[in-house]
Amino acid sequence: MSLLAEAKKQRQRKISNQFISFYDSVLYLGEPTKEALEFVIDNLCNNQTHLKLDYDELYLISIKRYQDDEDEHYYFTSDYIEKHLIECVNQNFIDAKSPLYNLGFAKKSYIEMLICYSLSITEAEQLNTQSPDLAFDNDYFEVDYHTFEMIVADRDELRDRLEKQQVLISKLQNENEQIKAALEAKHTCEPVEQQGYLDPNNKCFSIEMKLCHDTWNYLYENGNNSHLAHSKQVSNYLESYADLTVNTKAIERITTITNPKAMLAGTTTNTDI
C-alpha cells in the first residue's frame, strides 16, 4: 500500500471514530428501525454536537427547532432534518446527493447519550470513539453549549489525572528517600573493607575493639593450652559471632592485636623506655 493510500485510510478511520451520520445513527441502533428512527428524532437536539463532513474535514453546524431569520450563521431546522431522515430510512438507502448525506452527530457525544439511556455499548466502541477534530470557518465560529461542556469536562478530567499523578510521584519520592536511608543505615553496619573499623571516628570502631577484648579474655585470661596456632584459635572463636562486622579484614586485625608475641613485644618496649 502506498503512503498516500495509507494516509487516506488512517484519515477515514479517524473520521469514523469521530463522526456518525444521522442515517447511520439510526442503523446503529438496529431493529426495529421504526423505534430507532423515533429515538434519533426525539434526541436530535438533546445536548448533541452536530457536524458536517466536507472533504475529510469536520465542521460544526447548528440545528434549531425553529427558523431564526436574525441568525446569519448557516444552520438547519430539526423539521428539515426529520423530513429527509424519514425519507432515507423508509427507502433503506441514502443517496450521496441527499442533503443529509454528510450531516450527523459527533460520535463521542452520541455514544455517551446511548450509555445514559442504558443502552449496551461495547467497551471497545467506547474506547475508540473520539471527540471531533474540528475545522474552523475563519469568517464565523461558534462553540455550542454542549461542546463547551465537553471541553470543560475534558479539562477537569486532565486536571484530576494530573493531581493524582502528582500525589503518586510524591509518594514514590518519599518511599525512595526511606529506602535510601535504610540502605545507608545498613551500609554503615555491613562488613565491608571500606568501613575502616580501626578509625576511632567510625561508629563501628568500638565493636571491633570489644571483639579484641573478648578474644583476648577467652584465649589467654585463664591460660591457653591449645596446640593450634594463634591465628587459627582467633578464627575459630570469631566464627561463633553472628555479628556481620566479623569479616576477613577484621579477623586479620584482631589476630594481630591479640597476638601474645605482639603484646609481649609491646610490654618489653615500654619497660625498656
Note the pLDDT tens digit of each residue in 213-224: 788 787 876 566
Q: How confident is the model at residue 72 (pLDDT cuts 50, 70, 90)?
A: very low
Question: Would residue 240 count as lying in a domain?
Answer: yes
Average pLDDT over residues 146-152: 73
Q: Mark whether 55 and 148 lie in a shared domain.
A: yes
Q: Mark whether 11 and 110 lie in a shared domain.
A: yes
Q: Mark whether 148 and 206 lie in a shared domain.
A: no
Query: Coil, helix or strand for 66?
Result: coil
The residue among 96, 131, 154 that closes a domain is 154
Average pLDDT over residues 68-78: 62
The residue among 137, 154, 171 that closes a domain is 154
Question: Would residue 183 count as lying in a domain?
Answer: no
| C-beta of residue 128 within 8 angstroms of C-beta of residue 48 | no
| C-beta of residue 153 within 8 angstroms of C-beta of residue 109 | no
Q: Mark whether 211 and 127 lie in a shared domain.
A: no
Average pLDDT over residues 58-63: 84
Question: Would residue 1 count as lying in a domain?
Answer: no
Question: Would residue 2 count as lying in a domain?
Answer: no
Q: Which of 79-87's residues contact partners 24+ apart within 8 Å by CB, and which partners?
A: 81/22, 81/44, 82/41, 82/44, 85/22, 85/23, 85/26, 85/37, 85/40, 85/41, 86/37, 86/41
> What is the residue range of 252's domain?
194-272
**pLDDT surpasses 60 at 203:** no
Q: Mark whether 116 and 60 lie in a shared domain.
A: yes
pTM of the model: 0.48
Question: Would residue 186 count as lying in a domain?
Answer: no
Count the domains in the chain: 2
Question: Would residue 169 count as lying in a domain?
Answer: no
Gap between the Cα atoms of 214 and 193, Å rounded: 22
Q: Mark whether 15 and 146 lie in a shared domain.
A: yes
Question: Would residue 132 count as lying in a domain?
Answer: yes
DSSP states of 199-251: -TTSTTHHHHHHHHHHHHHHHHTT-----S-HHHHHHHHHTT---TT--HHHH
C-alpha Rg value of the chain to the nearest Å = 42
Give me the pLDDT at residue 167, please.
87
The residue among 154, 182, 213 that closes a domain is 154
Average pLDDT over residues 64-82: 69
| C-beta of residue 22 within 8 angstroms of C-beta of residue 85 | yes
**Residue 4 CB: number of other CB atoms within 10 A?**
8
Note the pLDDT tens digit of each residue in 214-252: 887 878 765 666 777 888 888 888 777 665 556 777 788
Give me the pLDDT at residue 3, please.
78
Question: Would residue 182 count as lying in a domain?
Answer: no
